[in-house]
Structure 1
Amino acid sequence: MVIFHALREAEQRRRPIRVAVLGTGYMGRGIAAQMLGRMPGLRAALLVNRTVGKAVAAYALAGVDPEAVVVSDDPRVLGQAIAEGRPAATGDFDAAGAVEGVDAVIEATGDVTVGAREALRWIGRRVPYVSMNAETDATVGCLLQHRARQAAVVYTTADGDQPGVLMRLVDYVRTIGFEVVAAVSCKGFLDVRATPDSVRPFAERMLQAPAKICSFADGTKMNIEQAVLANATGLVPDVRGMHGIATDLGHALEDFRARGVLDRGGVVEYTLSGDFGGGVFVIGRSDAPALTQQYLEVFKLGTGPDYLFYRPYHLCHFEAPLSAAEAVLFGVPTAAPLDAPVAEVVALAKRALRAGERLDGIGGYTVYGQIDRAEAVWQQGLLPVGLAAGARVRRDVPADRPLALDDVELDEEALPVRLWREQRHLFAPRRSVVAASSR
């Protein structure tokens, strides 16, 4: 890998890339651990968490003496620690945002508001920004990428999670001459009625927040991640929520053909159950089937013209720092919106909702999310799931019905709402163009 040699050179020159990690929950502390002695040329220089003790604990998990961590809310003190190569931590995001000496940021809070706020802050400072926050990316990522282009700085979705891993696979398949007809996430099960209570025992065993696990179980997270991929590739969902094809690795091509999905052009999709584990795959189509078949049949990929390119894993925090390295060393994103949104994730009622209720948002008791084409979302005036938290329901809404913007009262002063409306205004004239021009 070119990146390995570049990072090894940075390590040998004793000039590692100094990274601030925002959020030291389950994913953030893993990301930090990777950059504390496990990857050459990268150093977790500043850890930021509202409960600063969790940031210190993240250092300790990686073998750093907690007594050696410089804990402060003074940007000058934190900057001096970074300059001297000492580990630094703070519970003050504003203080962190004023620190000098940070070469890149990886944000892993999973909070739409925090993600948007921090992206704006660091983009404004022209510091490469890596988002492991698909919730923010799917909601206002196109606007954030617009701002990043204006500032001539990298804004990117992180490697390691499904959008980044699939983006690399899409790039690979396109580069070797295939048309991407489907980019597929693999899901083991789906329960749109899941709640934080129903998943709590599993969440506790996995040491994760019930709301986070709930967003996995009810499909919202997967739909969000596929929307992020859609906006970075121009691929679109065939139908709202995608089809969710029950299949396995040996029958995937056959089953996708039978459902007609491969006739639609470039789509994002997912499988349900099967033997895919934590894998993802891309289906590529050859425009020279006779020529391609004589080689790929020998190489055990089948007779074509459609071929399945499968990666059996995604490694989250192990791979996320690679995006920071590429952003700093090469000035390139792993995955970033092309331009206008081609997909959004709409909120559907998880149960019957009554007028006057407050929605609790992603991973909660009231709504789940499904991907749809941005054109349809905007024409129908539907509520993005990333804006749902805190909205008040104006009228009764039956279970499984998409919520319209008119069904709720939004806090118009909330940052995600303001940014989403700005994004909609910015891209409205050309919102249907990108998908057709990017396949």
Structure 2
Amino acid sequence: MSLSSMLAKRHEAGRPIRVGLIGAGKFGSMVLAQARKIPGYHIVAVADLDVGKVRGSLARTGWEGEEYAATSFGDAMDSGRTFVTDNAAALCAFDGIECIIEATGHPLAGVRHAIMAIDAGKHIVMVNVEADVMCGPILAQRARQKGVVYSMAYGDQPAFCCELVDWVRSSGFELVSAGKGMNFRPPYRYSTPDTVWSYFGWSDEFVAAGDFNPKMYNSFTDGTKAAIEMAAVANGTGLDCPDDGLAFYPAGLQDLAQVFKPEADGGRLPRAGLTDIAASREPDGRVVMNNIQYGMFVTFRAPDEYTRQCFAQYGLLTDDSGWYGSMWRPFHLIGLETSVSVLSACLRGEPTGTAVEFRGDAVATAKSNLKAGDWLDGEGGFATWAKAVPATLSTRINALPIGLAHKVKLKRDVPQDQIVTFDDVDMVDDLDVVEVRQEQQRTMAPEQVRAA
């Protein structure tokens, strides 16, 4: 409850929190919308390969032209204004900045920017979950060794899942599962950028009038984003991804504790200790009553009869037995809340969720019968969807993470729904990131894999 008062003291002392933002898309725009309303919180610079996009985002979110008219990093520091640049490396290197927000959404760029920031001794808030799930455990390890914070972004669902898990453990309950809500049913799995709008019920005219990225929306539709985020939650909490990927159990608020408990106790989970999704639609398309499409949840068990009685006395939503309960957060506001991560890193030296081990993975999986010579087109594309699996499996079979499945050519056929491996593809580019990933697999894979 102290971040705002701690920031106020910094502001009064003339020492604002100085921040660099990389990426001026939707998330970055939401960051910018709130930044100018927080005294003592200074966006020194915004970097994007398209500087026109940056200026458009600033103008759209209410900034006056003079506020982002700084001519250099130094001028921004001295004047309190913001510098617009296309040079992310220079932004990471600039001494005056304390914390970098990486919001490009590009997994390869995200890994590179994180390394630059960490090497420069800066905290980093990794909005880029795509990069985090691919290399986050080793990036977080490097940050700890350097004495800086590597953090999930408050406002995004993985950070809130980690917060809820921390609440469960800090309260002394028995953690059972964690996850988020999502609009999903099985046919969505094979959606492509050409078919995605039909799942939203949007007309061609509506889409043409908006600024919609079909691959991004398709990543949410086909379950890829869910796999990425739940694998990140696994790495941040010590929970596991299901052995055969996320099940997307339909469940509303009233059903969370009943559904997300072990099968042995009448639930649907193979066992306790898993991440998964509360789907907002039944397999036949009906909308689930009281669904949590935009929310996050945890389920937990009372450790004894007294606590079980307290669950009932205070109105907790429980399963039929009363032993299992659920807690949730109904909404998340992504970039509008990310300043909390920056302030936590700079003022407390604490992340709002971080990868602590390599436990879950999001791996490329064929959407159709792919042939040798086909090109993979990454997250939300035509060729693959991401499957959330335990790192024990992905490391053992040398699975290709979804973050590296872009502009990569297949060397051999891969049947529909089979995981793509490094042995299936010809990796000729992005070898620096491949090496970071392989170092993570060599040094941070689960013990039973390294011992094999």
Structure 2 gap segments, 5+ residues each: 198-203, 281-287
Match for residue 240 of structure 2 among 236, 239, 258: 236
Provide the residue aligned with 1:9 in structure 2: 9
Letter in 2 for 1:324: V
Contact residue 180 and residue 292 of structure 2 kept, 8 A = no
Provide the residue aligned with 1:43 in structure 2: 42
Letter in 1 for 2:142: R
Provide the residue aligned with 1:256 in structure 2: 260
1:26-425 matched pairs, under 5 angstroms: 26-37=26-37, 39-70=38-69, 77-190=72-185, 191-199=188-196, 207-257=211-261, 260-261=267-268, 264-273=271-280, 274=288, 275-288=291-304, 290-301=305-316, 302=318, 304-339=322-357, 341-411=358-428, 413-425=430-442
**Residues 404 and 263 (structure 1), Cα distance of their counterparts in 2 relative to 1, 3 Å cut:** closer
Supply the distance in 2 between the matched residues of 1:44 and 1:61 (Cα, whole angstroms). 16
Name the count of aligned residue pairs: 426
| CA deviation map 1:126-145 (0-9, x unaligned) | 11100000000000111111
| CA deviation map 1:309-345 (0-9, x unaligned) | 1111111012111001000000011111113x11111
State the identity %.
34
Supply the distance in 1 between the matched residues of 2:449 and 2:411 (Cα, whole angstroms). 30
Contact residue 411 and residue 417 of structure 1 kept, 8 A = no
**Residues 378 and 69 (structure 1), Cα distance of their counterparts in 2 relative to 1, 3 Å cut:** same
Contact residue 161 and residue 315 of structure 1 kept, 8 A = yes
**Residues 57 and 431 (structure 1), Cα distance of their counterparts in 2 relative to 1, 3 Å cut:** farther
Supply the distance in 1 between the matched residues of 2:269 and 2:258 (Cα, whole angstroms). 10
183-192 or 193-202, which moves further after superposition? 193-202
| CA deviation map 1:164-192 (0-9, x unaligned) | 01111111111111121100211112411
Supply the distance in 2 between the matched residues of 1:41 and 1:307 (Cα, whole angstroms). 40
State the Cα distance separating 1:156 from its structure 2 match: 0.9
Supply the distance in 1 between the matched residues of 2:417 and 2:364 (Cα, whole angstroms). 9
**Residues 251 and 413 (structure 1), Cα distance of their counterparts in 2 relative to 1, 3 Å cut:** closer
Contact residue 92 and residue 100 of structure 2 kept, 8 A = no
254-263 or 54-63, which moves further after superposition? 254-263
**Residues 331 and 431 (structure 1), Cα distance of their counterparts in 2 relative to 1, 3 Å cut:** farther
**Residues 430 and 79 (structure 1), Cα distance of their counterparts in 2 relative to 1, 3 Å cut:** farther
**Residues 208 and 102 (structure 1), Cα distance of their counterparts in 2 relative to 1, 3 Å cut:** farther
State the Cα distance separating 1:403 from its structure 2 match: 1.2
Contact residue 19 and residue 42 of structure 1 kept, 8 A = yes
Supply the distance in 2 between the matched residues of 1:172 and 1:407 (Cα, whole angstroms). 42
Contact residue 238 and residue 261 of structure 1 kept, 8 A = no
Per the normalisation by structure 1, the TM-score is 0.92
129-138 or 272-281, which moves further after superposition? 272-281
Supply the distance in 1 between the matched residues of 2:302 and 2:230 (Cα, whole angstroms). 24
Letter in 2 for 1:282: V
Supply the distance in 2 between the matched residues of 1:64 and 1:152 (Cα, whole angstroms). 34
State the Cα distance separating 1:8 from its structure 2 match: 2.8
Contact residue 70 and residue 81 of structure 2 kept, 8 A = no
243-252 or 206-215, which moves further after superposition? 206-215
State the Cα distance separating 1:419 from its structure 2 match: 1.0
State the Cα distance separating 1:68 from its structure 2 match: 4.6
**Residues 16 and 175 (structure 1), Cα distance of their counterparts in 2 relative to 1, 3 Å cut:** same
| CA deviation map 1:248-271 (0-9, x unaligned) | 111222233456445612110111
Supply the distance in 1 between the matched residues of 2:15 and 2:99 (Cα, whole angstroms). 14
SS in 2 for 1:297: helix
Supply the distance in 2 between the matched residues of 1:344 and 1:392 (Cα, whole angstroms). 21
Supply the distance in 2 between the matched residues of 1:260 and 1:205 (Cα, whole angstroms). 45
Supply the distance in 2 between the matched residues of 1:312 and 1:130 (Cα, whole angstroms). 23
Contact residue 204 and residue 210 of structure 1 kept, 8 A = no
Q: CA RMSD in A?
A: 2.0
Per the normalisation by structure 2, the TM-score is 0.89
State the Cα distance separating 1:97 from its structure 2 match: 2.5
SS in 2 for 1:32: helix
10-19 or 220-229, which moves further after superposition? 10-19
**Residues 67 and 16 (structure 1), Cα distance of their counterparts in 2 relative to 1, 3 Å cut:** closer
**Residues 428 and 163 (structure 1), Cα distance of their counterparts in 2 relative to 1, 3 Å cut:** closer
**Residues 287 and 93 (structure 1), Cα distance of their counterparts in 2 relative to 1, 3 Å cut:** same
SS in 1 for 2:58: helix
